[in-house]
Amino acid sequence: MTITRPCHRPGRALRAGLAAALLLVSGPATGALAATTGAGAGGSSGGAGLSGGAEPSGSTQAGSGSAAATGTPPATAPLRRPESAAGGGFRVSTVSAAALHHAVILTGTWAGAAASTVAMQVRAPQGPWQTVTETATGPGGHFRAAWRASRSGALAVRAAIIGSPGSVTAAENGGASPDLAVTVYRPAVATIYGPGFYGHRTACGQTLAPNTLGVASRTLACGTRIVIAFRGRSITVPVIDRGPYSHGASLDLTMATARALNDTETETVGAAVL
């Protein structure tokens, strides 16, 4: 038997639109990738996925779908942290998080020949390196490259010296910087569920409890790890259920997940599949 969770009217953040609701705040590395605060009624989502019956880098891992048995709230990680490395003749820096269609900025210095051309390269897990933009070094070998993120997820970023436009000549021979990790978040409308369904099994086979960390998704496979970002904090949780099915929401946070992020109602969050 399938139980349908009750629907509630979403907050103003939904009506404001996803692009406006998810803001990458400039400033210190501890700044927030923040959702515009919704002021309407939130609470449980309008999904269906519970069946009757007696589960990154730098963010809290919750692969089992449960919080600590001690009842201590799960710790979350700061969303925007400075990332830097040195090697291959480079010193490079960036920040650990960006919003989809916002700039990922890579700065640094190159110790080689003056007036060199530097490629900013991006790679998805197990994927090839792709040059996304090029820039020239200035006095002292300094450079700054910016890429408007066109994909979400966990990415690696590096700088490499190129010989001619679009042709990397030295990356495999020491002419590339070490990798830096950047997570790019897409905006996602997220509802919350839990009370009234504790003790029931989710569509992925877990028993929902007050300390269960996880999300419901209509499309992601059970067990898929997803990073949820909200107001400058992030947490990594698994997909444990199906839903939601109302108000255009694409994710349904368990109450424990929402509380870990200080989310109290339907909101626009950042989401990245790992």
Q: In the chain, helix, strand, coil percent, each to 5?
A: 10, 45, 50
Predicted local confidence at residue 38, as pLDDT? 30
How do residues 123-137 score in pLDDT, each as one tens digit? 999 899 999 999 999
The bridge status of strand 142-148 relative to strand 117-123 is unpaired
With a cut of 80, say whether residue 8 has pLDDT above it.
Answer: no
Two structure tokens written together for 73: 């709230």
Nearby residues of 146 by Cβ (< 8 Å), 6 or more positions away: 103, 104, 105, 106, 120, 133
Two structure tokens written together for 157: 């970023």
Least confident of 12-16, 70-74, 133-137, 262-266: 12-16
Three-class DSSP category at 154: strand
pTM: 0.74
Identity of the highest mean pLDDT range in 126-135, 159-168, 245-254: 126-135
Please, are residues 256 and 169 in contact by the beta-carbon 8 Å criterion? Answer: no
Sign of the four-CA dihedral 63, 66, 67, 68? negative
Predicted local confidence at residue 163, as pLDDT? 66
How do residues 43-82 score in pLDDT, each as one tens digit? 333 344 543 332 333 344 444 555 533 345 575 778 889 9
Amino acid at 14: L
C-alpha dihedral, 14 to 20 to 22 to 23, nearest 10°:
-150
With a cut of 70, say whether residue 14 has pLDDT above it.
Answer: no
Predicted local confidence at residue 197, as pLDDT? 92
